[in-house]
Amino acid sequence: MTIAEKLMQRRSQPSKVWKVGACTALTLSMFLAGLTGVQANIDDAAEYKPVAPTIDQARANILIARQLQFTHFRNLGISDELSGDVFDAYLKYLDGQRVYLTQEDIDSLKSMKSRLGSALKTGQLQPGFDIYNLVQQRIIQRLQFALGVIDNGLDKLDFSANDEIRVDRSESDWEASQVALDELWIKRIKNAVLSQRLNGTDDEAIEDTLRRRYEGQLKRAYQARSEDAFQAYMNAFTGMWDPHTSYFSPRTSENFNINMSLSLEGIGAVLQSDNEYTKVVRLVPGGPASKQGQLQPADRIVSVAQQGEKPVNVIGWRLDEVVDLIRGPRNSKVTLEVIPANASDETVTRDIAISRDEVKLEEQSASKDVIELDRAGESYKVGVITIPTFYADFQAMQAGDPNYKSTTRDVRRLLDDLKEQGVDGVVMDLRNNGGGALHEANDLVGLFIDKGPTVQIRNANNDVQVLNDEDPTVDYDGPLVVLVNRMSASASEIFAGAIQDYGRGLVVGSQTFGKGTVQAVRPLNHGQLKITQSKFYRVSGGSTQHKGVIPDIEIPSRVDTTRIGEDALDHALPWDQIEAVPHTRYFDFSGVIDELRKRHDDRFEISPEFSLLQQEIEFLTEQRGITYVSLNMDERKAHHDQIEQTRLTIANARRELRGDKPFKSLEDLEEWQTEQAADLDNTDEELDFVIREGGHIMADLLELDQHMASILTPAQFAAKAETR
């Protein structure tokens, strides 16, 4: 009998009694007394077939344990303390919101907590599989309970009481018993129903959506595979060393990084598993999702719908299966239902329609623009170079093509064009640049300095390798500003850090991501291990790891730094420093930085764009700070209407700044956003105010020091180099 048939049979038995236990709260008893639906028999979970480890997995486990202990950058042994941490991390992965297991379950598992470490050393996987199988059985019980609530009718749910539910339960106590979980799940269902009702969905459609969601998850639970348990267990284990060390199953290895870009036709996004959800890690520059503009890092995908078809709920799905569903032929449309990164709770979702396309290298290429600033009658011409990623066409390079594309080659050409146009200074925009080819970051620094080191790389044996720019040619010797934000990572941080250390330019924006580690992928007998083996350090000795690059002049960001960034990840390697290497300091900004910051603050004080940015940040911060939401219909509607009105107000304020007609309603805004997805060539041609501010800071530099334009000549570069 198939899962679907079992579900249909279960719903055709209205006379059965719902088994929930003898002791229950009054409100729950009253609700359960009214149930005329199916039996959510927790014994049905016995139909689940427990998964068991294989010999290949045991061997892979032993190899992983050895590599972690002897080749990882972090010197960490497998101890009793680590055993407890693995236990906690594993449960966090399997039941991160603490909605399946009870305190009774946790107590029954405590005897395993101190034994996992020694078992993992020797390939004894059964304890981890026992935990996995228990969680799968509890998931089945909960989903059966939820389906029973829906079968009984949504009209039986009471939305007049003053109930509320905690938004994030990751730090909550485990519920004491299955009965307590029953109460919690009724609240979860009420929360989901309320959210959809407030979005204008009728109860019939809500019932259909929730039923498909829970039945889909239930089907997945029954279809659990040994490899699912092994990958989850190994990643809880490897994650103790650092968040970038992970195990790839044989199938996941085929899609290393799950990067739907380059030759693959999709939406251009990098995804990863996040408990039951698939989470957006970053967007590929130039890809359909990046162009469309609505999908954001840390959004979690709830469902995927092909054009003209019903959405498929993907909560609980394997990552590779979600990726397969999102990929598709060019020019076809896919709609993702996501929980936005800034949502107040997991029931707040939005639909994002994206037209698939192939991400081409030229779409990720560096580009230039020129802005002119009129300041008290004085005109300044500022060149802007945007670098979405650090790229190189390795195939063309290996084939000997003298015209192969790369970041450094393209930027050199753009700089030549800007110099011909007579710009007074250059702004390098590295915002949202997640990195790329390390050698390109090294070579790019070389366009702005004389010979010298660009980055240090230290391995687990404390051996330090220094990458150098060996070319004495300086392609641009004028004033320089580098723009960064929280999504600037890895190679971007190396470039920005080097420019800052050399005093070659000012770094402006928000603290960068802090990804300062290097990984290698090593084959196993079964799958692969991605392991951290080295760490980046600036020429001044400080690591880019964890701390990232701190801007000289800060501009606040909408990004939630508690969720995005290296310092937001569990077990991230810490910041530290090693000895600096000799390098030139081309300009000392200490004498002018206070005045530069003051002028910047004065401009932003009266800037309507900055005022709007602050309003957005305050709104998002307020939403992120919500810990409970009401389950009372009237209270929830009032809160919902307030949020929607704020969204509309902010959107219209932005349109008015651009001279566009404001939207009459939120529906008009959402309809307009959906229309944008159909146009892959839709881009906002207007340079944003942060770039313009970079230009103003450039002009401030020239005004504060009239010698700035001349102190960075090639002759003086050489003179300064002699003093190193």
DSSP 547: T
Query: Strand 528-537 vs strand 452-459: parallel, antiparallel, or unpaired?
Result: antiparallel
Give the H/E segment covering residue 523. Answer: strand 517-523
611 class by beta-carbon count within 10 Å (0-12 exposed, 13-18 middle, 19+ buried): middle
Cβ–Cβ < 8 Å for 277, 316: no
Whole-number Cα distances in Å, 352 to 304, 336, 343, 463, 672: 10, 5, 15, 48, 12
Candidate list 113, 515, 535, 547, residue with the active-site label:
515
Does residue 490 carry a catalytic annotation?
Answer: yes
C-alpha 532/C-alpha 106 separation (Å) is: 32
C-alpha 484/C-alpha 433 separation (Å) is: 8
Does residue 515 carry a catalytic annotation?
Answer: yes
Candidate list 249, 406, 488, 490, residue with the active-site label:
490
Which of 475, 531, 382 is CA-nearest to residue 73?
Answer: 531
DSSP string of 627-658? -EEE--HHHHHHHHHHHHHHHHHHHHHHHHHT
Candidate list 501, 552, 560, 700, residue with the active-site label:
501
If phi > 0 it is left, if psi is from -120 to 50 it is alpha, else beta; for residue 277 that is beta
C-alpha 391/C-alpha 622 separation (Å) is: 38
Alpha helices in 76-125 (DSSP H): 80-94, 103-113, 116-121
Separation of CA 540 from chain center: 29
Cβ–Cβ < 8 Å for 389, 436: yes
DSSP string of 321-361? HHHHHH---TT-EEEEEEE-TT-SSTT--EEEEEE-EEPPG
Residues assigned a catalytic role: 490, 501, 515
